[in-house]
Amino acid sequence: MLIPSIQKTLNELTDLLSQLSNDDYACPCHGLSNATIGEHTRHIVEMFQCLENQYESGVVNYDKRNRDYRIQTDTDFAKESIIAVLNQLDRPNKNLQLQQIVDGEELLIESNYNRELLYNLEHCIHHQALIKVAVLQNDAIVIDENFGVARSTIEYRKQCAQ
């Protein structure tokens, strides 16, 4: 169920990008502290790319990701990048080490591929919630009501509606 959830979430993002001009995509949004939809999209994509690129080594460090500014300025390139991520998701689960420097100290934390995919899904949803803040200012853009909403919140809302 994890990979289909990621696919659904990233496809929602792709659908949104199809509605945006490059100008809208790269325009600073006051409600996002002048960040752009493109910057948030780049961050989402690059976190998934980082996991995929470092999968073979078994050590994942999200701080060591490529920063391809075309992803944040060109909606077509961003969509191509998302499709590439979607095509690489289905890998066997395996143990990984999450590496990060915190206050000058290196941390190595045991993890696994599925746990990191789940982290990236939740991270993606969090950034989509921020993107939604910028998008809601434009009445011409149509997004799913659950865009940027955590899966647990969606399930809770379903229970409340019954």
Residue 152 predicted with pLDDT over 90: no
The sign of the dihedral angle between the CA atoms of 15, 47, 83, 33 is: positive
Buried residues in 40-76 as b, exposed as e (16+ CB within 10 A): bbbbbbbbbbbbbebbeeeebbbeebeebeebbbbbe
Amino acid letter at 106?
Answer: E
Among residues 154, 15, 4, 1, which one has the least CA distance to residue 79?
15
Q: Which pLDDT score is estimated for 144?
A: 86
Local confidence band at 136 (pLDDT 50, 70, 90 cut-offs)? confident
The number of residues making up the chain comes to 162
**What is the residue-averaged pLDDT of the chain?**
94
Residue 93 predicted with pLDDT over 90: yes
Q: Which pLDDT score is estimated for 158?
A: 83
Among residues 123, 117, 124, which one has the least CA distance to residue 94?
117
Q: Which pLDDT score is estimated for 150?
A: 86
**pLDDT digits over 6-44, tens only?**
999 999 999 999 999 999 999 999 888 999 999 999 999
Most confident of 103-112, 128-137, 141-150: 103-112
Q: Which pLDDT score is estimated for 151?
A: 82
Residue 105 φ/ψ, nearest 5 degrees: -110, 135
Residue 72 CA to residue 22 CA, distance in Å, equals 9
Local confidence band at 130 (pLDDT 50, 70, 90 cut-offs)? very high
Mean pLDDT score, 62-73: 94
Q: Which of the residue ranges 3-12, 109-118, 141-150 would you say has the lowest mean pLDDT?
A: 141-150
Predicted model pTM: 0.92
The tokens describing 160, both together, are 């409340």
Q: Which pLDDT score is estimated for 29?
A: 92
